[in-house]
Structure 1
């Protein structure tokens, strides 16, 4: 049974209208209608909420509908890829901030003629910048490889 038919069957077996189910799930009636007519599929968080609402296990709700299985797999992959890009951006930003901190930090010469400066920020900055760029490139290449494997 496809997901839309499953939701409709569950709703009607509980004698709920689309409006009543929508209120329980905090969505619009049109959203329920689009699920039941297979025009749209809910995200994973909503699938869990639906399963809890009808006291079902997730496998009973999801399995049997290939479209829903593929959507949830794709959603999980997209979240993982997005998280990896965010990590890469944060690493790059930390590196850039090291360079800015080095530039803004005061340099002093003490009475013995020794220069005091936060030189260590330069290699740390390069380290973070290169790791961030590398992590972003690896994430991009992995996404391309996964797309090619699917085709």
Structure 2
């Protein structure tokens, strides 16, 4: 009876260790997801990437084509919402926003290219603009004045 209990306990311990090892392997931070990488054996320099096309609307999860030699794969991608579609594969370092132009009610800023993703053709500098805010920003340390 003791030997049966010992074997059962040993098997339970082995099963627990196997499950924990599997969990650690799945959630390892250094591991890359298979869905973002094409299944071919081509390097990133040899692969030509298409534009990311969102599944619904202008942003969110989508697919892009990755072509190398005679093989074309669809890989998962994501376009951040509230971002410019024409520069989505390019990363820029932007300066501060300009003051509000009263004539057009917009403010703008320019950015210089930091890096191009997926071998994208990127402009070396870009200029983006947005409507001016109607509310003035509160600065830290200022409290709302109550009529008391």
Q: Normalising to structure 2: TM-score of the pair?
A: 0.26
Kindly indicate which of the two structures has a greater share of residues assigned to helix. Answer: 1
Identify the structure with the greater strand proportion.
2
